[in-house]
């Protein structure tokens, strides 16, 4: 039978297991980029009413207009976000998570919950690692 880990088929060979490169990687790469999780988080805060572009932007202090536009476009392309355009003057554009987008929230929360519970330990390990590295290279 076929083993699998993290959505990836595993081929057993004489020299050991080999992971199959496959499509889920491109999904993970998109969701793991600099802004996507933050944008999804903003939309998740307002599950019942769509959010305006400007409201999302104000919720993510450091995002540029360009990157918010691109991120929302990617999410829309993936069917995770719906875009509603109202051709008024000035124009109004609203976004909301689709059913598929909402279906991601619980699994995502499981993972970000682990991060929330662990990141302080990780930070401590990083500091220790960097300190040892510095003292190890003491001659410098």
| By CB under 7 A, residue 72 contacts DNA | yes
Instruction: Supply φ then ψ for residue 44, to 5 degrees.
Output: -70, -25
Structure tokens, 117? 């519970």
How far apart, in whole angstroms, are the C-alpha atoms of residue 74 and residue 39? Answer: 11
90 binds, among its own copies, DNA, none (CB under 5 to 8 A by kind): DNA
How far apart, in whole angstroms, are the C-alpha atoms of residue 51 and residue 69? Answer: 14
How far apart, in whole angstroms, are the C-alpha atoms of residue 40 and residue 128? Answer: 33
Min CB(35)–its own copies separation in Å: 10
Min CB(69)–DNA separation in Å: 5
| By CB under 7 A, residue 57 contacts DNA | yes
Sheet of 81-86, strand order: 51-52, 92-97, 81-86
Q: Nearer to DNA by C-beta: 93 or 108?
A: 93
Binding residues (CB under 8 A) for its own copies: these are 3-8, 10, 15-19, 21, 23-25, 27-29, 31-34, 37-38, 40-42, 44-46, 51, 55, 58-62, 76-80, 100, 103-104, 106-116, 118-126, 129-130
Q: Give the β-pairing of 92-97 and 81-86.
A: antiparallel
How far apart, in whole angstroms, are the C-alpha atoms of residue 6 and residue 9? Answer: 9
Judged by CB under 7 A, which stretch of 5-13, 19-27, 32-40, 119-127 contacts DNA?
A: 32-40
Enumerate binding residues for DNA (CB under 7 A): 33-35, 52-54, 57, 62-67, 69-70, 72-73, 83, 85, 90-93
């Amino acid at each position: 039978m076929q083993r699998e880990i993290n959505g990836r088929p595993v081929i057993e060979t004489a020299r050991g297991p080999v992971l199959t490169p496959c499509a889920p990687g491109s999904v993970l790469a998109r969701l793991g980029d600099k802004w996507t999780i933050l944008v999804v988080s903003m939309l998740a805060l307002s599950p019942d009413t769509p959010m305006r572009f400007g409201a999302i932007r104000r919720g993510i202090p450091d995002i540029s207009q360009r990157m918010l536009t691109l991120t929302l476009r990617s999410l829309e392309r993936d069917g995770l976000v719906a875009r509603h355009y109202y051709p008024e003057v000035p124009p109004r554009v609203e976004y909301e998570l689709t059913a598929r987008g909402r279906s991601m929230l619980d699994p995502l929360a499981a993972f970000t919950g682990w991060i929330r519970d662990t990141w302080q330990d990780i930070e401590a390990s990083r500091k220790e690692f960097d300190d040892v590295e510095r003292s190890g290279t003491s001659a410098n």
